[in-house]
Amino acid sequence: MPDAILLDRLRAAVDAAFDEEVRFLQELVRFPSLRGAEAPLQDWMHRQLGAWGYAMDRFSLADVPLASHPKAAPMVDADPARSVQVVAAHRAANPTGRSLILQGHIDVVPEGPAAMWTHPPYAGVVRDGWLYGRGAHDMKAGVAAMVFAMDAIRAAGLEPAADVYLQTVTEEESTGNGALATLLRGYRAEAALIPEPTGHTITRAQTGTVWFRLKVRGVPVHVMVAQDGTNAIMSAYALIQALYAHTKTLNQAARANAWYGAMQDPIKFNPGIIRGGDWASSTPAWCEVDCRIGLVPGTTPEEAMRAVEQVVKDAARGDAFLANNPPEVVFHGFQTDPYVLEPGSEAEAVLAAAHAAVHGGEMPARLSTAVNDTRYYGLYMGVPGLCYGPKGEGAHGFDERTSLADLKTCTLTIAAFIADWCGVREAG
Ligand code: ZN
């Protein structure tokens, strides 16, 4: 645990810079960093952190051999060359401590109808101790926390005694290829912390995720003779029903799962986007549905994908038209392994001590029914991937917001964690 004097120095530094941290987070929120449009924010981040003295690296997904990696996910609707990653390195002279990757995603999901928001989604409005906006909670607050945790160490007159990499990545909400790209670029450390907004809990396990697109055809006729055609939208609807039934079966089997057995319905299926048809008085000739399904530890994305294909095949067999015109299943994004952070790592113990020093008491654990990027570190790099961060609400919904009081305590917790994990020295 960081000693009391050191913690006081860090606390004073976090407090002194907190107004600046809030302004920094507002700036982050004001970039509508939707998929494919993250570069302006990444360019800004590159300039900011460069000005603060970090050694900077900026590269796109086209600059790394993504396609050759077995865990790269398909990017059907996005251009790798436009997907910019940024790494800011603190390189310690004669390192004596343990190295660390601090990573956050800066991509956000679409905000939906602006009229449904109390405050404009990209304004960064602060009201009654909350900062509002798309991404304020998931996870630009965490990005601000990790940047200002490092800044607090510097402002306290100290520096980490090991290499620390601050990484801002894209594609967390669609493939995970941004995080994977930093590995392919060569970045390594002895632990990774990703401050997703977990409300000061450690993520013990996460489910995997698979994205797929159903492409369904129909026979277009004038609706006055609808009986002579087929309706691709209604055919897609039948497939969606079959996939819900499949999910129910999967959740029954998940009751025996070592990690998720006690949770009601840990596997979530979601038809998230639907497109189709050309005219209200023509039976639709086509329909596409973008879907997402989860998978629990002990199963693989490949198994989940084969099962989806089978469900669609079986459902199509029962339909006269679809039996001869089988729907296509295109895997167009996430193909994510579930990940369990095995208890007992030294990195988790150090984080738990930092949490206890700031919040008092044990660091609670949670199970997530979605993915985060820690899996790359835990599964493919062999170091603990810690997912722990600030507190807010409304992820992917309206009036998304982060609690500023919790942002401050989280920043201090991360600073204390860095100080203890990496060690600190008086800055020269
Ligand atoms: Zn997130």
What is the spatial distance between Cα 212 and Cα 209, in angstroms, rounded to a whole number? 10
Residue 82 CA to ligand 1 center (angstroms) comes to 20
Kindly report the pTM of this predicted structure.
0.97
Residue 371 CA to ligand 1 center (angstroms) comes to 8
Residue 382 CA to ligand 1 center (angstroms) comes to 22
Please say whether the beta carbons of 420 and 350 come within 8 A: yes
Q: In what order do the strands lie in the sheet with 100-105?
A: 55-60, 84-90, 164-169, 100-105, 192-194, 385-387
Query: By three-state DSSP, how is residue 68 classified?
Result: helix
Look at residue 2 in the predicted model and tell me its pLDDT.
67
The mean pLDDT value for 343-369 works out to: 97
What is the spatial distance between Cα 220 and Cα 119, in angstroms, rounded to a whole number? 44
DSSP assignment string, 132-184: ESTTIIIIIHHHHHHHHHHHHHHHTTEEESS-EEEEEES-TTTTSHHHHHHHH
Residue 237 CA to ligand 1 center (angstroms) comes to 30
Residue 136 CA to ligand 1 center (angstroms) comes to 10
- The yes-or-no verdict on residue 428 having pLDDT over 80 is no
Which residues are CB-contacts of 281 (< 8 A; sequence separation ≥ 6)?
222, 223
Query: By three-state DSSP, how is residue 347 classified?
Result: helix
Point out which residues pair with 34 in neighbouring strands: 108
What is the spatial distance between Cα 263 and Cα 39, in angstroms, rounded to a whole number? 39
What is the spatial distance between Cα 419 and Cα 126, in angstroms, rounded to a whole number? 30
Residue 123 CA to ligand 1 center (angstroms) comes to 19
Hey, what amino acid is at 58?
A: R
Look at residue 3 in the predicted model and tell me its pLDDT.
85
Query: By three-state DSSP, how is residue 360 classified?
Result: coil
Residue 80 CA to ligand 1 center (angstroms) comes to 20
Look at residue 159 in the predicted model and tell me its pLDDT.
97
Look at residue 1 in the predicted model and tell me its pLDDT.
58
Please say whether the beta carbons of 392 and 136 come within 8 A: yes
Please say whether the beta carbons of 163 and 95 come within 8 A: yes
Residue 227 CA to ligand 1 center (angstroms) comes to 47
Residue 198 CA to ligand 1 center (angstroms) comes to 9
Look at residue 12 in the predicted model and tell me its pLDDT.
98
What is the spatial distance between Cα 346 and Cα 186, in angstroms, rounded to a whole number? 24
Closest CA to 207 of 340, 341, 345: 340
Residue 106 CA to ligand 1 center (angstroms) comes to 8
The mean pLDDT value for 102-128 works out to: 97
Residue 199 CA to ligand 1 center (angstroms) comes to 13
- Percent pLDDT > 70 in the chain is 100
Residue 327 CA to ligand 1 center (angstroms) comes to 32
The mean pLDDT value for 65-93 works out to: 96
The mean pLDDT value for 139-155 works out to: 98
What is the spatial distance between Cα 321 and Cα 316, in angstroms, rounded to a whole number? 8
Pairing of strands 286-295, 208-217: antiparallel
- The pLDDT tens digits of the residues spanning 51-61 come to 999 999 999 99
* Ion ligand 1, residue ranges at CB < 5 A: 138-139, 196
Q: In what order do the strands lie in the sheet with 130-132?
A: 126-127, 130-132, 401-403, 392-393
Look at residue 320 in the predicted model and tell me its pLDDT.
85
Distance of CA 141 to the CA centre of its chain: 13
Q: What is the mean pLDDT of the chain?
A: 97
- The pLDDT tens digits of the residues spanning 362-413 come to 999 999 999 999 999 999 999 999 999 999 999 999 999 999 999 999 999 9
What is the spatial distance between Cα 161 and Cα 170, in angstroms, rounded to a whole number? 29
Residue 279 CA to ligand 1 center (angstroms) comes to 38
What is the spatial distance between Cα 410 and Cα 388, in angstroms, rounded to a whole number? 9
Structure tokens at 295: 């998978």
Residue 20 CA to ligand 1 center (angstroms) comes to 23
Residue 34 CA to ligand 1 center (angstroms) comes to 13
